[in-house]
Chain A
């Protein structure tokens, strides 16, 4: 009797399982990002990517800036006053109108929190009828690009507590949040009064899944229609499936070694060159990252102007590397590791596991540096150890992934990283010619020739050692069509997607 009941229950469960796996009418998006709080300064990029919040300025996939919530902008003769004309008839999700005052309110709150706006020479943001005016203390040509960054998103005044903390996300985007459960999920549906074209798919959901293996499995099992941020191994596995399409695009993000150029072993340019020559970029790209090629220079081809095709690419030459080090006075010890004045050539490479490929590449570098007599210890730790090590001077080498276009104009990142001694840029390295060039570019003087010249200085001096240019990969189910990847990592492009017939 008991047995019979058990069997029946088991059979029933088995029969019901395939039905449980049936998809509903919601587009499920999965990515690694966790929603900290309804706070634009920390989790804002999730809201902009999901099409919930928007910025004054947008970026086209080739990097040109396009109108967003602002329809046009112009700068005064002296470069100190910028006027942004706001789009008419834009409603927030709570039904209130977007006005110049609400925009100024959102920008002022963003400017008071840590972020790129804080670093700009802004003296004031003022509202007048349909226009927002930003005044500067010195010219800054890339201002519109900074307003395209996620932390400059425009939310209604009701989104903030009196002290400016985000309490609710009331944006202007095509999707309106219906439920938000930090840290892992968000549901949204189409906003009926959206100013632009209505999205084709009415209901979307976002789930944060931190483990890359799990994300890949969710794509493989068809559980999620749109899976962002895949690891190289999963990409080749998913490529074998018929039900999933893997999209991949080169993005302006470079995998590189941040070098402490003040370290006694690394303060000579030839030592940095030797390390660079030890790296088998093609091997790493093909076997570990499964990309077509390694990085021949810092800026990938997608960073228009800064990438210079005529620059001789960085390559591997173990013998040349050994010669360079020998000329610097290094000689191999009994264990095969180089020594100079009694000091052993040993360095610590700090990296972080948030991007799964970083520890893998670190493991490969350890072997390739050993081949030229450099002993590398790998320290995989919290990502904050890199900026913290930069600040207190203890960092030796850091393996990082740096995006040059979180602000769609690379000048912002170049300025802070290689001129301003930024936490994720060059360390103990200054170059007067480079500084002059980049400062000029920031003011709006000079063009592609100056950009290429600046890139050439980085290539010769190697304050950082580029290894690979990133490809962003995502898996899309065959149940939907029209998916695209934004190289600037600003949007998932949900509003253009449709259910497949």
Chain B
């Protein structure tokens, strides 16, 4: 129960921190907000004093800061995020739309990483020090040292441009998922595989494992009956921590592949001083982290009852 309470406290802290911090930050940005918003709205060919004045009048940007903050917090309690300053659409709608694109990308990436990483890790962990184990160590260390944008770059140049197997960018069809999700998945799998390998090696060294084999179970049966559940606990724990890495990856990958998700939106919102959008997106990301980790707390308790004690 206390775990839930501490997650709630964390969520509250996140909300307060983001709410006030982004507000102060966006208010103190260099340059006049009305001008930037006008540039975002009308484009560089058409932004001029008339456009900036129109924005200023429409949005009441001249009002005192603390009033705007109080109003925002009040709206937040009523779950009203306000309208985007650039597009004029409700922030909730924009985020809901973009979150879907990002979440589907992230989900595919996580699934892909789970297909790639843990099986290799388990195989390596069954024969510690073997050829696969050593190869996996070198590969995963190598991949961790490559920034994600570089992975994206290499994948695009090889798979899209040279071999012409996959589209370089865009979204909409299933094939558009492959390159961005693979970029994200490789980074995640490099870690997944190591976690699974260490857990497997530890389990394979335990007495119950040797007993199971001695009683005549094949390696495959032992793995299915005793191994997987034990390996899954550290894997799932780590998945929660990887959420932040995933979100950061999403910001970069979406920008490189032109994916219309929340990371893309965030970068744009910060550029054009779209205060409600930045606050909304940051809040969704922060609370998403807390939610994912709370879910993982519960999942772990279910898989490994010892932790509940």
Contacts and interface: CB of A to CB of B under 8 A. Distances in A.
Nearest to B271: A382
Given A3-B123, A183-B260, A42 B167 contact: no
B97 interface: yes
Q: Which 10 A-B pairs have the closest CB atoms?
A: A384-B39, A383-B44, A20-B175, A384-B35, A217-B168, A223-B167, A17-B165, A423-B48, A209-B258, A184-B260
Q: Which residue, A114, A220, A406, A423, has most C-beta atoms of chain B within 10 A?
A: A114
A71 interface: no
Contacts of B165: 17-18, 20-21
Contact of B255 (A42, A183, A211): A211
Interface stretch (B84-92, B194-202, B278-286, B292-300): B84-92
A339 interface: no
Interface string A202-222: 000101111100110110111
B51 A214 contact: no
B193 interface: no
B49 A387 contact: yes
Contacts of A422: 48
A424 interface: yes
Interface string B214-236: 00000010000000000000000
Contact of A384 (B52, B89, B168, B170): B52
Interface in A159-188: 165, 181-185
B258 A207 contact: yes
Given A185-B171, A383-B47, A384-B39, 5 more contacts: A17-B159, A183-B260, A208-B258, A382-B39, A387-B47
Interface string B134-166: 000000000000000000000010011100111
A6 B119 contact: yes
A423 B174 CA distance: 45
Interface string A35-60: 01101011001000000000000000
Interface of A: 1-3, 6, 9, 17-18, 20-21, 28, 30, 33-34, 36-37, 39, 41-42, 45, 113-115, 118-119, 165, 181-185, 205, 207-211, 214-215, 217-218, 220-224, 352, 354-355, 381-385, 387-388, 391, 403, 406, 422-424
Contacts of B35: 382, 384-385, 387-388
Nearest to B54: A114
Contact of A2 (B123, B168, B171, B271): B123
Nearest to A116: B46
Contacts of A185: 171-172, 260
Given A214-B256, A382-B271, A384-B52, A37 B87 contact: yes
B168 A20 contact: no
A183 B93 CA distance: 12
A198 B81 CA distance: 44
B42 A114 contact: yes
A9 B97 CA distance: 32
Contacts of B42: 41-42, 114
B160 A2 contact: no
Nearest to A150: B46
A219 B169 CA distance: 10
16 contacts: A20-B174, A21-B165, A36-B86, A36-B87, A45-B43, A114-B42, A119-B50, A165-B88, A185-B171, A209-B258, A223-B169, A223-B170, A384-B31, A384-B32, A384-B38, A387-B35
A33 B43 CA distance: 9
B72 interface: no
B291 interface: no
Interface in B223-276: 255-258, 260, 265, 268, 271-272
A20 B178 contact: yes
A182 B41 CA distance: 13
Given A21-B166, A165-B88, A184-B171, A42 B31 contact: no
Interface in B43-92: 43-54, 86-89
B114 to A, nearest CB: 13
Contacts of B53: 114
Contact of A181 (B45, B115, B260): B260
Contact of B160 (A184, A208, A217, A384): A217
A205 B48 CA distance: 31
A218 B260 contact: no
A214 B257 contact: yes
B31 A382 contact: yes
B168 A220 contact: yes
A47 to B, nearest CB: 14
Contacts of A214: 168-169, 256-258
A423 B167 contact: no
Contacts of B36: 382, 384
Nearest to A35: B87
A262 B258 CA distance: 42
A221 B265 CA distance: 26
Contact of A221 (B32, B54, B168, B258): B168
Q: Which residue, A183, A185, A422, has most C-beta atoms of chain B within 10 A?
A: A183
B164 A222 contact: yes
Contacts of B161: 217, 220-221
B148 to A, nearest CB: 15
Q: Which residue, B115, B164, B169, B256, has most C-beta atoms of chain A within 10 A?
A: B169
B196 to A, nearest CB: 13
B48 A21 contact: no
Nearest to A22: B175
Given A18-B165, A384-B39, A114 B45 contact: no
A349 to B, nearest CB: 16
A388 B55 CA distance: 14
A209 B169 contact: yes
A114 B167 contact: no
Given A37-B88, A384-B36, A391 B49 contact: yes
Given A184-B171, A184-B258, A222-B164, A2 B119 contact: yes
B220 to A, nearest CB: 6
B156 A20 contact: no
Contacts of B168: 214, 217-218, 220-221, 223
A136 B49 CA distance: 24
Nearest to B89: A37
Nearest to A213: B256
Contact of A21 (B175, B220, B268): B175
Contact of B49 (A165, A220, A222, A423): A423
A359 to B, nearest CB: 13
B265 to A, nearest CB: 8
A388 B258 contact: no
Contacts of B32: 384, 388
Contacts of A9: 115
B156 A217 contact: yes
A406 B47 CA distance: 13
A345 to B, nearest CB: 26
Contact of A182 (B89, B166, B167, B255): B89
Given A17-B166, A209-B170, A387 B89 contact: no
